[in-house]
């Protein structure tokens, strides 16, 4: 990665004594640069927000303007009263919640067992999980479609939920494995001595200690399922069974152009997950790179 030289001047903080001038300046230069950087990453979403606050005709009107010529808040009320939108929202909530519950129920025992015990096949299992993380549903979409087609489960919530759960399992196992492995064995042994069964120890002692990991896995899985596109696009045929990501796009097609509704619905779809993501910001990298860092 020698190309990185171009990326930045030596950005490391300098000892204060040598550069008193810079030290005084950086107190305002850095926040200003930070604001500029933040603006770059928020810009498309600002456009999204502004477009959701103007009538559709104003979005596609020449000459274009940055700010709405006419402000319109009623779009939000409109989509929240739109049966199609509510059906998509329901699917997204149902699929994301059910996938998350399955992932947690399945990954906690697996992570606990691999973190605590040595057994034949342990390495093979962890390697299998790592390889799964490399598989994307996109690359396998034809195979996924064939499987549910053969089982006559195309266009069912169950197919979408199970697919989402399976492809997000690896991340959850890795991050929980890391959390559980870091809890000293003595804690568990003490609980055993006090007469706690293995399942009781897991529930009363280890799970509370692993809460940050579980919260991270829950939020990450929920968001991944909430944002999933290609499998839902392929499997869900009925209009009212589509999730938000797929449904939204039908606000603007060859037949209808409701730009205002598209953007308002987009805002409704992304604001909750952005807030959730910010909550677990600190723990995200741990799970995603766990397989390689360890």
Rounded to the nearest whole angstrom, what is the least distance from the CB of residue 282 to another protein in the complex? 10
Q: CB 221 → another protein: shortest distance, Å? A: 13
CB 244 within 8 A of CB 267: no
CB of 73 to another protein, least distance (A): 20
Our CB check for another protein shows the closer of 71 and 149 to be 149
Task: Report angle CA 137, 138, 142 to the nearest 5 degrees.
Answer: 90
Residue 230: in which H helix or E strand, if any?
Answer: helix 230-235
State which residue, 192 or 203, has the beta carbon closest to another protein. Answer: 192
Cα 255 from chain centroid (whole Å): 32
Identity of the residue, 208 or 237, whose beta carbon is nearer to another protein in the bound complex = 237
**Minimum separation from the CB atom of position 288 to another protein (A):** 7
Nearer to another protein, 3 or 83 (CB): 3
Distance between CA 13 and CA 19 in Å, rounded? 10
What is the smallest separation between the CB atom of 167 and another protein, expressed in angstroms? 7
Give CA–CA dist 79/123, Å, rounded. Answer: 50
On whether the CB atoms of residues 242 and 236 are closer than 8 A, the answer is yes
Residue (87 or 165) nearer to another protein, CB: 165
Q: Please state the φ and ψ torsions of residue 257, each to the nearest 5 degrees.
A: -125, 90
């Amino acid at each position: 990665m020698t190309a990185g030289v171009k990326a930045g001047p030596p950005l490391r903080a300098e000892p204060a004594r040598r550069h008193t001038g810079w030290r005084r300046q950086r107190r305002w230069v850095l926040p200003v640069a930070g604001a500029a950087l933040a603006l770059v990453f928020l810009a498309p979403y600002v456009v999204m927000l502004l477009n959701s606050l103007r009538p559709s005709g104003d979005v596609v009107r020449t000459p274009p303007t940055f700010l709405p010529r006419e402000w319109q808040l009623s779009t939000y009320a409109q989509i929240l009263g739109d049966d199609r939108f509510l059906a998509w929202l329901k699917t997204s909530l149902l699929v994301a919640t059910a996938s998350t519950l399955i992932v947690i129920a399945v990954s906690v025992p697996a992570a606990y067992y691999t973190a605590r015990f040595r057994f034949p096949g342990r390495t093979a299992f962890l390697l299998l999980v790592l390889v799964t993380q490399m598989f994307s549903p996109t690359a396998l979409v034809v195979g996924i479609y064939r499987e549910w087609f053969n089982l006559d489960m195309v266009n069912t919530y169950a197919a979408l939920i199970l697919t989402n759960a399976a492809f997000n399992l690896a991340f959850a196992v890795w991050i929980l494995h890391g959390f559980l492995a870091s809890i000293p064995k003595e804690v568990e042994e003490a609980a055993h001595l006090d007469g706690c069964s293995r399942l009781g120890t897991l529930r009363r002692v280890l799970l509370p200690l692993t809460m940050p990991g579980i919260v991270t896995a829950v939020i990450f899985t929920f968001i991944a399922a909430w944002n999933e596109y290609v499998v839902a696009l392929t499997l869900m045929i009925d209009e009212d069974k589509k999730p938000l990501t797929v449904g939204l796009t039908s606000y603007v097609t060859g037949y209808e152009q409701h730009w205002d509704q598209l953007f308002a619905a987009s805002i409704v779809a992304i604001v909750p997950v952005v807030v959730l993501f910010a909550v677990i910001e600190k723990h995200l990298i741990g799970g995603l790179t766990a397989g390689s860092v360890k």
